Structure 1
Amino acid sequence: MKPFAGLPLTHSWPLFECEQQFELGATFDADVVTEWRDLAKIGRWECDLRDNRLTWSSAVYLLFGLPEDASLARSETLPLYAEQSRVMMERLRAYAIRHRRGFTLDAELRPADGGTRWMRLIAAPIVRDGRVISLHGIKRDITSRYL
């Protein structure tokens, strides 16, 4: 496994780069890419900042080793991150909310079904009436890059 080097805040990016940062850009929801997303182990997610409720696609549940019918609060998933990855994610998340910026992070996971996985987390805030109300993005299994 490659040694972990925490990512600096330079991996934060302005919201006008969303389409560029989300690999599929504006076509992300198109039916024609659904099969490709599944094969690439890419999942969509959202976190409502009012109550920290999570909404995940099937691929994200699989990545975390959790059953799809699980109803999750964000606090329940944090222990599934390796400590260094969790610390960096929390730092980037707080910065994203405070400054209305997106971020990208490769994070090490300790999934509920055992082992170690790596995921690329791409996140962007959703802003309404000048306030960040949620974060959303994609999570992709990139374990093979860290073997």
Structure 2
Amino acid sequence: MKPTHPLPVHHSWPLYERERYFELGQLHGAGTLDAVADMTDLVAHGRSVRAQAGWWECDLENNNRLSWSSEVYDIFSLPRGAAVTREETVALYEDGSRAAMEKLRAYAIKHRRGFTLDVEIRPPSEAPRWMRLIAEPLCVDDKIVKLQGLKFVVPERE
């Protein structure tokens, strides 16, 4: 059965609003991934739920090289520490979600904006699920060098 999501999130936001979208953790320095609490409280369907959140980054200057926390590997049901490419990961997104993510990603890079998007992913050998993607560009001088942020599974509707 295909997972359902009641009110998917899909929007772009200016970088000066990053604190609003990164209440789950802090991004510090030039491209470092910081620890985030294992479990994060979310409100879904009128009730409090727990969701595991993980940090990620995509190095735009290094052929879109990905760096993930252990939790992101778990979200995609991939072995922790495995070498994954952006192309392999993007192939796990449902077609409509992939198109929306690519459009917001390009917009974020072009206009120096963060974005939040709920996407449907199809992990290998597991049921599809919804994942919230929170992203922001990392700028060094006038150049965007990375995208970085959080990913976490959005609980299904009961």
The CA distance in 2 between the partners of 1:126 and 1:99, in whole Å, is 12
Larger helix proportion, structure 1 or 2?
Answer: 1
Q: Deviations over 1:55-105 (max 9, x none)?
A: 111111011010012111111111100000000000000000000000000
Q: Deviations over 1:12-56 (max 9, x none)?
A: 0000011111123549957xx62434x621000000002111011
* Identity fraction in percent: 51
Partners of 1:18 and 1:25 within 8 A in 2: no
Partner-residue secondary structure (3-state), 1:66: coil
The CA distance in 1 between the partners of 2:27 and 2:133, in whole Å, is 19
Q: Does 1:62 align with 2:64?
A: no
The CA distance in 1 between the partners of 2:27 and 2:87, in whole Å, is 31
Quick one: which amino acid aligns to residue 77 of structure 1? T
Runs of at least 5 residues in structure 2 that lack an aligned partner in the other structure: 29-33, 41-49
Q: Does 1:122 align with 2:134?
A: yes
Partner-residue secondary structure (3-state), 2:101: helix
TM-score in terms of structure 2 length = 0.79
Q: What is the CA RMSD across the aligned residues, in angstroms? A: 2.4
The CA distance in 2 between the partners of 1:107 and 1:35, in whole Å, is 21
Range 49-58 or range 87-96, more displaced:
49-58
The CA distance in 2 between the partners of 1:52 and 1:27, in whole Å, is 19
Q: Which of 97, 102, 124 does residue 109 from structure 2 map onto? A: 97
TM-score in terms of structure 1 length = 0.85
Give the drift of 1:112: 1.6
Map of 1:18 onto structure 2: 18
Range 56-65 or range 90-99, more displaced:
56-65
The CA distance in 2 between the partners of 1:27 and 1:126, in whole Å, is 10
The CA distance in 2 between the partners of 1:115 and 1:105, in whole Å, is 20
Quick one: which amino acid aligns to residue 96 of structure 2? Q
The CA distance in 1 between the partners of 2:145 and 2:66, in whole Å, is 13
The CA distance in 2 between the partners of 1:103 and 1:60, in whole Å, is 18
Map of 2:4 onto structure 1: 2
Map of 1:53 onto structure 2: 65
Runs of at least 5 residues in structure 1 that lack an aligned partner in the other structure: none
Partner-residue secondary structure (3-state), 1:65: coil
Quick one: which amino acid aligns to residue 101 of structure 1? R
Q: CA 1:126 to 1:114, structure 2 compared with 1: closer, same or farther past 3 Å?
A: same
Larger strand proportion, structure 1 or 2?
Answer: 2
